[in-house]
Structure 1
Amino acid sequence: MFVSFNIIIILLASLLVLMGAIAFLRVLFEVIYATGNQQDTFLLGLMKRENIPNWQTLQQKAEISSTTLWQLRDGQAASMKLGELAQVAKALSIPFSDFLEKLDVLPPHPELEARRQECLELQKQLQVLAKEKDALRQEGMRLHEELQQQRTELTHEFRTTTFEKLQTLLSNYPSIYQMVSVKPELPAKNVLSMFTPLENLMKEWGYEQIGKPWEQVPYNPQIHQPDASDMTEGEMVYIRFVGYRHKEDILCPAKVSRTLPMGVGSRG
């Protein structure tokens, strides 16, 4: 009975030693598998860039076997199939030619390298041209807006200058028109049709007439020019000569008086 108990103790001790050895070898293998192979530094850098957390994930993403992955890590890429290398390059988002070059699968070729450098230079030139094109487009838009602004300013200046030249005629024309309407025997009646284009011009420019000839209105110093200095705001006056405005701008105030022109009498 005593012998059997010793044997059991020995067997248990041996089993514990064996399990410890297996656990140690497993940890050692995992450490060796995780880092330390010839291409691990290069591959781990690419994996970090692509957020690939471990070798198993890379293996699954590239759809290769564990043996193939071990060959790759151990610097045996030359013995792998090009299709497998292409899958790994795709999983790591690196150009296939660059991947092969980094793994020393293909010897460097001076002519190919020169062509690659030319391609890189052309890519840089294309980027510069794209930036220049965008800058030219922005400049074109700025110039277009500037021309539109200048056009608006020139149009406004032209209208203002033209109005200043026609101001006397425009101010007197409505009064003459009213006079001829009341006294059609005046020979000036035949001339009134000549003023129609001026009315059309004012409408086209958006210029509005202030008041009507001989119209009685409350005196407003903002839009009326009195013929006497003692006029008070709100006092009833007659418009002798109309004024003009453009939107909020008063181009010229209407001339007003307390009386109508001599011979006209009351407003008809």
Structure 2
Amino acid sequence: MTRELKLRMSESALPDYTSQLQELMQRAGVSSLEELSQNAGVSPLQIIRLRRGLALQTPVGVLLKISHGLKISLTELLSVFAPGSVPDEEKASEGNLEQEYQRLQTQIEQQRSVLLDEWKQESLHTLESWLLQWPTVVYRVQENPQLPAVKLLRFVSPVEQLMGEWGVEAIAPVGAEVPYEPHLHQLLEGTAKPGEPVIVRYTGYRYGSKLLYRAKVSPV
């Protein structure tokens, strides 16, 4: 993976409230995540999700159980794991906690968008080798249909469709002759000035407004 892509992915990473959780566990006399899971009656995964900043996407019943396991109120739990989203303590009583939580859930859509984007970025990392190599394989097979690999082409159309739905766009198809643009193209050999014709050997990709990979090209 390119350094630029790693940086973009790290920027979209979820928060980590491990230290805050450990402090609350220590105050409650809980020695491990497994013990908290047993005391609260929830799965360890639910606690991990809370630790990763997913409080607003967790059912209120689960949050109440975790707060009881930590011996704190739901309001205090949310103030720690969803900072800035809870009003002053005196404005939220135990009698209206569920109503207050419903108000907080209006912020879920924005957080969901961030999570979806991070998931896409992780998936792109998994598909990186395919993204960079497959278009060239397709081009070679189309040039020589006698190759047995031609039978494989139809199996990748769902992946290509998924890339399109995610907004991943190829810069140019393999074999295309295009004007050289240094910020979009990487020369495999020789030299070229901006605007001079080059041939695409390996396609590059954009993700929305972000450049994921430059297309690899050769001078005509």
Q: TM-score, normalised by structure 1?
A: 0.43
Distance 1:215 1:138 in 2: 57
The C-alpha deviation readout for 1:195-245, integer Å capped at 9, x for no partner, is 111111111212111101110000111211221474321121000011111
**How far off its partner does 1:167 sit?**
1.6
The aligned counterpart of 2:206 is: 245
The aligned counterpart of 1:151 is: 112
Name the aligned partner's letter for residue 211 of structure 1. A
The aligned counterpart of 2:152 is: 191
What is the correspondence of 1:132-143 to structure 2 with a 5 Å cutoff?
140-143=102-105
Q: 1:148 to 1:200 in 2, by over 3 A?
A: same
Which is further off, 194-203 or 221-230? 221-230
Distance 1:178 1:230 in 2: 24
Distance 2:106 2:190 in 1: 50
Distance 2:132 2:181 in 1: 18
Q: Please say if residues 173 and 195 of structure 1, whose CA atoms lie closer than 8 Å, have aligned partners that are also in contact.
A: no
Structure 1: gaps spanning 5 or more residues:
1-129, 260-268
Q: 1:131 to 1:160 in 2, by over 3 A?
A: closer
**How far off its partner does 1:164 sit?**
1.5
Q: Does 1:224 align with 2:185?
A: yes
- Matched residue SS, 2:127: helix
Name the aligned partner's letter for residue 140 of structure 1. Q
Q: Please say if residues 223 and 254 of structure 1, whose CA atoms lie closer than 8 Å, have aligned partners that are also in contact.
A: yes
**How far off its partner does 1:148 sit?**
2.1
Q: Please say if residues 212 and 242 of structure 1, whose CA atoms lie closer than 8 Å, have aligned partners that are also in contact.
A: yes
Instruction: Tell me the number of residue pairs that the alignment of Structure 1 and Structure 2 aligns.
Output: 130
Name the aligned partner's letter for residue 250 of structure 1. L
Distance 1:230 1:217 in 2: 15
Name the aligned partner's letter for residue 204 of structure 2. G
Name the aligned partner's letter for residue 142 of structure 1. L
Distance 2:215 2:101 in 1: 47
The aligned counterpart of 1:170 is: 131
- Matched residue SS, 1:213: coil
The C-alpha deviation readout for 1:138-164, integer Å capped at 9, x for no partner, is 65333431x322211111111111112
RCO higher in 1 or 2 (8 Å CA, sep ≥ 6)?
Answer: 2
Q: 1:131 to 1:176 in 2, by over 3 A?
A: closer
Name the aligned partner's letter for residue 104 of structure 2. R
Distance 2:119 2:190 in 1: 34
- Matched residue SS, 1:232: coil
Distance 1:141 1:251 in 2: 37
Name the aligned partner's letter for residue 205 of structure 1. W
The C-alpha deviation readout for 1:77-104, integer Å capped at 9, x for no partner, is xxxxxxxxxxxxxxxxxxxxxxxxxxxx
- Relative to its length, the structure with more helix (as a share) is 1
What is the correspondence of 1:69-148 to structure 2 with a 5 Å cutoff?
140-145=102-107, 147-148=108-109
Name the aligned partner's letter for residue 159 of structure 1. K
**How far off its partner does 1:257 sit?**
1.0
Larger radius of gyration: 1
Q: Does 1:202 align with 2:135?
A: no
Distance 1:241 1:131 in 2: 58
Distance 1:131 1:161 in 2: 38
Identity within the alignment, %: 32
